[in-house]
Structure 1
Amino acid sequence: MEASQLTLFRNEFHTMILLFVILGLGCTSAPSREDARVIDAKVDAALARLKKDVKGADSLLRSASGMLVFPGVLQAAFWGGAEYGKGALRIGGVNVDYYNIAAASFGLQFGAQKKDIILLFMNDQVLQDFRNSSGWTAGVDGTVALVTVGAEGSINTTTLNEPILAFVVDQTGLMAGVSLEGSKITKLQRQVPRRVEKTRNHIETGMLVSPPALTWDNRISC
């Protein structure tokens, strides 16, 4: 095998490993307090950019029952591609939960880029259905309508009656011709405190124990 072919094979192999890790073994632990603050700040910045750059976006944001914001989602590709990012679900101006998003794509594609993905749940029912799901995939558990910009730079109104809307924004502005179908969104779960788990085991086995002082294990950030 020639050196150039070997290099291509290695790069493709590494990409497939990346896809396996992201989509199959991705971390679902809740972010630490410090990481949560970083995510919160990035969410604020992504929403501020959207309001500034896209005419009419502010009105849609105010109308939504909730919004799921993934700032700086990284997309990398070499023959096959993958994207991954972490974000927050914001309801009534408050970040109530944290999630990750992961997706894979296949075909001839090269390079890496970052983009903001913002999903708007336009009524209480679709928001509740999303929050009650154990794992949510765009195009399977809910149809996502991509918001685009019309000729005059304002939002195209043809999709605004859909229950779930999405903005995809990169450094050049609102992206068109992209799809979120197949993107898997997973809630980042808080770990059970170790002492609480021990107490639960003692109670289940009939052992009497004194109420413990609650202390959280260090949560994994990934």
Structure 2
Amino acid sequence: MHDQPQLLLFDIFGTVVDWHGSIVRELTALHPEVDADAFALAWRAAYRPSMERVMSGAQPWTRLDELHRASLDALLPRFGLAHLDDAQRRHLNGVWHRLDPWPDSVAGLTRLKSRFTIASLSNGNLGLLTNMAKRAGLPWDCVLSAEVFKAYKPDPAVYLGAARVFDLDPARAMLVAAHHDDLAAARACGLQTAYIERPLEFGARQPKDVSPEPANTMHARSITHLADLFGCPV
């Protein structure tokens, strides 16, 4: 039996906000001729390789905004959008700051905040996460980012650094995420873990397997369900 955590750290992309649906909606409005589903998936597919170049030392520390922009510039010709000028590209790249929360996110976080310290723990940079929270009404006590630790998840420096910010033993912190690899890396650092089911993270064409992983401390259908499991007041 685990002691209840004091700190809940939230992965953001896919866990708290719907990156796929948000990009599809925005791109469809701007460029209806483009297959927005394929575009969103291709842009996201560049996410991990771009961070791995930084973590391997092949590229100096680079914020996610810049990594997203480089991936976008490489992607546009494939989708017939090579003609976009710099202002249009900057605007489109900013979609990551404008991602919409899942319907349960704000209510669930608000309930959890009544009992725990809640913070983001994302590979997104500080400006991106702050702008996103402001627009979406995400009620963080603290915005933490890989940028603070100059390392990208799953580097242990991120998980251990977040616990250290609050002067907590890692076992008193819990990572909440919709990704088993992120949770496994956090567990390896001694954190508790909670899995959130997001079957439509990659869109309706690619439903995700959300089967439980027994190693996780908790498994919830949504963030409001996690608040229910913790007995947080409605």
Question: Is TM more than 0.5 here?
Answer: no
Normalised by the size of structure 2, how large is the TM-score?
A: 0.26
Find the structure with the greater CA-based Rg.
Answer: 1
Normalised by the size of structure 1, how large is the TM-score?
A: 0.27
Higher helix share: 2
